Amino acid sequence: MMGIADYLIQQLKEISPKTMRSSALWKAVAAFYRSPLNRPSLKADKVSMSYFIEATRDAYISRKPVVWANLLVPSEIIHASGAIPFYPELASAVMAGAGISVRFLEASEENSFSRDLCSFHRAAIGAAIQDFLPRPHMMITCSRPCEGAVLSFSVLAELYGVPHYSIEVPENNALQENIEYLSRQIEEVTRIIALITGNSNLKDGIKQAIRLSNEARKNILEVEETRKEKSCPLDGWDAIGHIAVLASMPGTPACVKFYRLLAEELKEMKNILDSQNKDSLGSRILWMHLKPFYPNSLADSLRSLGAKIVCEEYNRCYWDELDTKEPFPSLAKKILSHPSAGPAKNRAREMVRLAKEYSVDGAVHWNHKGCRQASGSALLIKDELSKIGVRTLILDGECVDSREKTEGQIRTRLEAFLETLEIK
């Protein structure tokens, strides 16, 4: 007999684009949010959930102009201009989580998009072909961390008949002229968004967004400090999902609140565990790249094998405080300071630093099948980590395309790897 969860998944699989744009659906979602059924394990998650429900509803109903962006496009400029940012890569992860991504992957394949392409982008294209996503007014991409985003967004822009602006990120992040070049592009794109939204007070908007982003940053740093402690209870497997907050919410009051609550909650939980003299036992793992977002049992495998992810590559504050007087050069530096924005040696250096700071016992690099930029440097990072005595397991897998899942094999490899780790 079909359970309620199966029933809901079945309903989701068959959901139509029209339903996604209906007020009734969003009323139902809001009612669920307020109901006692909605009990996220962290209070902070309620804040992010509320933000995403509201922003996604507004995007579907077209309450404000919608700007599609990829991971490193600074959300501050979109919020400052009064538009709604929509991140299709994050949407693909959500669709995978809801068990409906295969429908869209198949739609992209039917339209001649190769299965060798990154499934985050393929799923978004398939969903766009079926008109399942909020319709964009414009698209912005950053050429880092990957070229795949620029290429796939250019296809999407053609599909929707909207302009696409590519912010080209220079490889060398130390040159002043490169910072200026990047800064000019960000400023130009921001002005274009403001033209679309009709925002005549961009200067104040930017100032406010930068201020809020800095406030959130302080709270992120607090979260990170707590997470370095052995008794911090946060499980990194779940925390990988916070990448959605980190990418799309900086520049909003909700982002400040999310990280403030998270910092407070983690401290509180840690203090309780400290008072009971309870440390988290088992191996401390640094998790690199992303994870499978479709329903899977890997998290259970990790827990049952006594391993805990204590730090995730993409889920941290990698940038310096932004300057309200120099917003665009600051945002340029923010992009350039992302470890995946430049050569792999930057990424390797950062992973070594994290491994030391978080006292990890081992590291796992999730080789997402279609991701050239991350997988192509996995071995180099493994070699650098081995120099400080940290062993790395490179796992080939998929983040969005559940048809490619090979859980049994991965579990066996994880098991063998974790057995060899020496807990420090």
Partner 1 sequence: MNSGLKENFGQSGIRAGWFCAYTPVEIVEAFGLKPERIFGSPGPWEKADGILYTNLCPYVRSCLEEGLADSPPFVIFTTCCDHLRRLRDAWDYYIKPEFSYILDLPRGKDESSIQYFANSIKGLISSLEEKTGCELSAEKLRTAIVKRLEVDMALEKACKTASSAQEILRLYQLAQKSFAASELCQLLENRETYTEEDKRDASDSFAHEKKVIVSGNLLRSEVIPSLIEECGGTIVHLDLCSASRFSLWRSDTNSREIDSLGLESLLHLIARTYLSKTPCPRMSNRSERHELIVDLARTHNASGVILSPLMFCDSFLYDIPLLLKKLEPLGIPLLVLESDYRDENVGGIRTRVEAFVEML
Among 6, 14, 147, 320, binds partner 1 (CB under 8 A): 147
State in angstroms the smallest separation of the CB of 369 from partner 1.
6
Contact indicator for 13, 100 with CB cutoff of 8 Å: yes
- Number of residues interacting with partner 1: please give it, by CB under 8 A: 42
How is residue 200 written in tokens? 């005549």
Q: How far apart are CA 105 and CA 251, in angstroms?
A: 32
Can residue 294 be called a binding residue for partner 1 (CB under 8 A)? no
Q: Which stretch binds partner 1 (CB under 8 A): 2-10, 38-46, 83-91, 165-173?
A: 165-173
Residues 324-363, interacting with partner 1 (CB under 8 A) = 343-345
Q: Which stretch binds partner 1 (CB under 8 A): 28-36, 93-101, 139-147, 247-255?
A: 139-147
Among 8, 12, 28, 175, binds partner 1 (CB under 8 A): 175
Q: Are strands 283-288 and 362-368 parallel, antiparallel or unpaired?
A: parallel
Contact indicator for 49, 38 with CB cutoff of 8 Å: yes
State in angstroms the smallest separation of the CB of 373 from partner 1.
4
Can residue 168 be called a binding residue for partner 1 (CB under 8 A)? yes
State in angstroms the smallest separation of the CB of 371 from partner 1.
8
State in angstroms the smallest separation of the CB of 113 from partner 1.
6
Residue whose CB is less far from partner 1, 177 or 422: 177
Can residue 280 be called a binding residue for partner 1 (CB under 8 A)? no
How is residue 53 written in tokens? 């429900």
Residue whose CB is less far from partner 1, 291 or 382: 382
Q: Which stretch binds partner 1 (CB under 8 A): 13-21, 144-152, 235-243, 318-326?
A: 144-152
Residue whose CB is less far from partner 1, 118 or 243: 118
Question: Can you give the chain as a three-state secondary structure string?
Answer: CCCHHHHHHHHHHCCCHHHHCCHHHHHHHHHHHHCCCCCCCCHHHHHHHHHHHHHHHHHHCCCCCEEEECCCCCHHHHHHHCCEEECHHHHHHHHHHCCCHHHHHHHHHHCCCCCCCCHHHHHHHHHHHCCCCCCCCEEEEECCCCHHHHHHHHHHHHHHCCCEEEECCCCCCCCHHHHHHHHHHHHHHHHHHHHHHCCCCHHHHHHHHHHHHHHHHHHHHHHHHHHCCCCCCCCHHHHHHHHHHHHHCCCCHHHHHHHHHHHHHHHHHHHHHHHCCCCCCCEEEEEECCCCCCCCCHHHHHHHCCEEEEEECCCCCCCCCCCCCCHHHHHHHHHHCCCCCCCHHHHHHHHHHHHHHCCCCEEEEEEECCCHHHHCCHHHHHHHHHHCCCEEEEEEECCCCHHHCCHHHHHHHHHHHHHHCCCC
Residue whose CB is less far from partner 1, 213 or 377: 377
Q: Contact letters (x/-) for partner 1, 99-118, by CB under 8 A?
A: ------------xxxx-xxx
- Would you tell me how many other CB atoms lie within 10 Å of the CB of residue 29? 14
Q: Which stretch binds partner 1 (CB under 8 A): 6-14, 83-91, 321-329, 378-386?
A: 378-386
State in angstroms the smallest separation of the CB of 104 from partner 1.
15
Among 146, 254, 302, 322, binds partner 1 (CB under 8 A): 146
Alpha-carbon distances, residue 234 vs 137, 240, 265 (angstroms)? 38, 11, 10
Q: Which stretch binds partner 1 (CB under 8 A): 62-70, 152-160, 251-259, 287-295?
A: 152-160
Can residue 152 be called a binding residue for partner 1 (CB under 8 A)? yes
State in angstroms the smallest separation of the CB of 339 from partner 1.
13
Can residue 372 be called a binding residue for partner 1 (CB under 8 A)? yes
Can residue 231 be called a binding residue for partner 1 (CB under 8 A)? no
Residue whose CB is less far from partner 1, 49 or 151: 151
Among 379, 388, 416, 423, binds partner 1 (CB under 8 A): 379
Cα 225 vs. chain centroid, distance in angstroms? Answer: 20
Can residue 178 be called a binding residue for partner 1 (CB under 8 A)? yes
Residue whose CB is less far from partner 1, 310 or 336: 336
| Interface contacts to partner 1, rule CB under 8 A | 111-114, 116-118, 143, 146-148, 150-152, 154-155, 158, 166, 168, 170-172, 175, 177-178, 181, 184, 343-345, 367, 369-370, 372-373, 375-380, 383
